[in-house]
């Protein structure tokens, strides 16, 4: 993606997707996937970031992949606002 941007490609959006997501279609809502945990019991469908969301944030921030990066989820700097459909 970064290479495309550097080459002048007009990127309008990007979806985080991987091969494992394809296997999720068989399970519907019974298997949890994605960067955020969605509370299906809440009418607002509140979302809570998973560890992978913080790792992805660091990749975007640093524009590199640090295979040793391990976010400290107990650190207040990593506490995100819960995202809901109202946002």
Does residue 44 belong to any structural domain of this protein? yes
Is the CA virtual torsion 71, 14, 22, 29 positive or negative?
A: positive
- The answer to whether residue 87 is domain-embedded is no
pLDDT of residue 77: 52
Q: Outline where the chain has alpha helix (H).
A: 2-6, 19-23, 51-62
How many domains would you assign to the chain?
1
86 belongs to a structural domain: no
What mean pLDDT comes out for the span 61-66? 87
In a domain, 37, yes or no: yes
pTM across the whole model: 0.58
85 within domain boundaries? no
Does pLDDT of 28 surpass 60? yes
| Domain assignment of residue 84, yes or no | no
Domain membership of residue 49 as a residue range: 2-78
């Amino acid at each position: 993606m970064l290479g495309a941007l550097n080459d002048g490609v007009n990127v309008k959006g990007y979806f985080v997707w991987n091969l494992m997501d394809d296997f999720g279609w068989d399970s519907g809502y019974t298997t949890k996937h994605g960067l955020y945990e969605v509370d299906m019991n809440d009418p607002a469908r509140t979302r809570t970031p998973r560890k992978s969301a913080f790792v992805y944030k660091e990749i975007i921030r640093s524009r590199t992949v640090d295979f040793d990066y391990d976010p400290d989820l107990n650190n207040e700097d990593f506490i995100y606002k819960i995202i809901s459909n109202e946002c």
